[in-house]
């Protein structure tokens, strides 16, 4: 059991990758209960995602490369959170590029996010006696097969570690090993969230991510490209549900430290595309192309542990999540980054 540092008013929480898609939603949600320190180097995220949070005194953005060792005492802007005395109580490490279209250019970023940044953030957790969550991915399970499409936390996947995707897929596996090793050596309360495909507002547009690209093409009346065949399927979990799962995992006991977070319902991408066409009243058609390197087949999560321990299930219906994502895209489609 970790000793707790006294908290003066609110707990201090660090979110790396806080200006990204998931990170910005997490920062927004955490402001209800904490001082939020958002750390991001903006190399593959956008300040626009957190612009509305900058006005809050309980929120502070630090532009910093988290692959480098970090000492929060070096930032005078954090004096208002009494960091020198209180430290930080929670760390969410979400920083990692996930751009399918720019994957080749971001390989070294992925490698560093899953190695150097792991050590930097875990060292910060040790120094501060902070609880810690690493945002891992379902890719650690490897490719699903017809016989094995549902993955539980005990499953050990096979990943092609020398493939073009190795820096991400094997990187996530090594990152999980970092979490496990720090638990063993330092006894910190560090956890792993294996996140399956998430979607929602603030996903980068025109970045090779399926849902935003589907919506952008539908709004423009252009063909919607499915990178695969008509049977290509994914589970899709709305961002609010993912954030709720992360918060519940952070607050659960130390003995539960690896949990799947995602939807256990498979959706054919062609059906999702048709749903978006209908919802946007578009004249677009669906076309099929060869898969991108970054887009691989994924299974679905066994949510038994999430349901039993976290009391968590995804609640947002696909239609409702898509409507919010479409509304966001309409409002922001001219501001592509």
SS (H, E, C) 259-318: EEECCCCEEEHHHHHHHHHHHCCCCCCEEEECCCCCCCCCCEECCHHHHHHCCCCCCCCH
pLDDT of residue 295: 65
Distance between CA atoms of residues 161 and 170, nearest Å: 5
16, 92 contact by CB (below 8 A) = yes
**Residues in contact with 265: Cβ distance below 8 Å, sequence separation at least 6, in sequence order:** 235, 236, 300
Residues 3-18: pLDDT tens digits?
A: 455 566 799 999 999 9
Distance between CA atoms of residues 24 and 202, nearest Å: 8
What does DSSP assign to residue 245? H
- C-alpha torsion sign, points 312, 46, 168, 324: positive
pLDDT of residue 294: 62
Q: Residue 212: which H helix or E strand, with range?
A: helix 210-220
Judge whether 5 lies within some domain.
Answer: no
- C-alpha torsion sign, points 244, 272, 142, 293: negative
Nearest CA among 175, 206, 208, 205 for reference residue 192: 175
Distance between CA atoms of residues 133 and 243, nearest Å: 12
Query: Total structural domains in the chain?
Result: 1
Paired tokens of 224: 């919607």
Catalytic residue among 132, 168, 182, 199: 168
- C-alpha torsion sign, points 168, 302, 317, 271: positive
Judge whether 255 lies within some domain.
Answer: yes
Burial of 97 (0-12, 13-18, 19+ CB in 10 A): buried
Judge whether 30 lies within some domain.
Answer: yes
Query: Containing domain of residue 51, as a range?
Result: 12-198+237-264+297-315
Burial of 31 (0-12, 13-18, 19+ CB in 10 A): middle
Judge whether 79 lies within some domain.
Answer: yes
Distance between CA atoms of residues 80 and 57, nearest Å: 9
Judge whether 3 lies within some domain.
Answer: no
284, 226 contact by CB (below 8 A) = no
Is 132 a residue of the active site?
no
pLDDT tens track, the chain, 337 positions: 444 555 667 999 999 999 999 999 999 999 999 999 999 999 889 999 999 999 999 999 999 999 999 999 999 999 999 999 999 999 999 999 876 667 788 899 899 999 999 999 999 999 999 999 999 999 999 988 888 899 999 998 888 899 888 899 999 999 999 999 999 999 999 999 999 999 999 998 877 778 999 999 999 999 998 888 888 889 999 999 999 999 999 999 999 999 999 999 999 999 999 999 999 999 999 999 887 666 667 899 999 999 999 999 999 999 999 999 999 999 988 765 4
Using alpha carbons only, what angle is made at residue 312 by residues 235 and 46, rounded to the nearest 5 degrees? 60
Judge whether 245 lies within some domain.
Answer: yes
Judge whether 35 lies within some domain.
Answer: yes
Q: pTM for the whole thing?
A: 0.94
Q: What is the CATH number of the domain that holds 77?
A: 3.40.50.720
Judge whether 108 lies within some domain.
Answer: yes
Residues 247-286: pLDDT tens digits?
A: 999 999 999 999 999 999 999 999 999 999 999 999 999 9
């Amino acid at each position: 059991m970790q000793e707790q540092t006294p908290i003066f008013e609110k707990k201090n929480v660090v979110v790396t990758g806080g200006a990204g898609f998931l990170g910005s939603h997490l920062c927004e949600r955490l402001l209800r209960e904490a001082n939020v320190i958002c750390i991001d180097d903006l190399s593959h995220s956008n300040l626009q995602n957190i612009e509305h949070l900058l006005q809050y005194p309980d929120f502070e953005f630090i532009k910093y490369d988290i692959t480098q060792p970090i000492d929060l005492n070096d930032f005078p802007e954090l004096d208002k959170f009494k960091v020198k005395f209180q430290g930080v109580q929670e760390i969410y490490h979400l920083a990692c590029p996930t751009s399918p279209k720019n994957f080749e250019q971001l390989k070294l970023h992925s490698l560093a996010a899953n190695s150097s940044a792991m050590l930097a953030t875990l060292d910060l957790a040790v120094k501060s006696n902070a609880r810690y969550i690493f945002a891992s991915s379902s890719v650690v399970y490897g490719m699903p097969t017809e016989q094995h499409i549902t993955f539980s936390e005990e499953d050990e996947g096979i990943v092609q570690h020398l493939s073009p995707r190795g820096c991400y897929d094997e990187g996530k596996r090594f990152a999980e090993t970092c979490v496990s090793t720090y638990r063993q050596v330092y006894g910190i309360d560090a956890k792993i969230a294996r996140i399956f495909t998430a979607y929602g507002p603030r996903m980068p547009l025109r970045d090779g991510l399926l849902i935003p690209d589907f919506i952008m093409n539908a709004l423009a009346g252009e063909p919607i490209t499915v990178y695969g065949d008509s049977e290509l399927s994914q589970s899709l979990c709305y961002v609010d549900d993912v954030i709720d799962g992360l918060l519940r995992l952070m607050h659960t006991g130390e003995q539960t430290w690896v949990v799947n977070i995602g939807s256990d319902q498979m959706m054919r991408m062609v059906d999702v595309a048709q749903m978006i066409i209908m919802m946007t009243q578009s004249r677009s058609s669906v076309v099929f192309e060869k898969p991108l390197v970054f887009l691989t087949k994924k299974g679905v999560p066994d949510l038994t542990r999430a349901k039993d321990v976290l009391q968590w299930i995804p609640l947002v219906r696909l239609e409702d999540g898509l409507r919010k994502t479409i509304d966001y895209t309409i409002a922001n489609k001219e501001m592509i980054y």
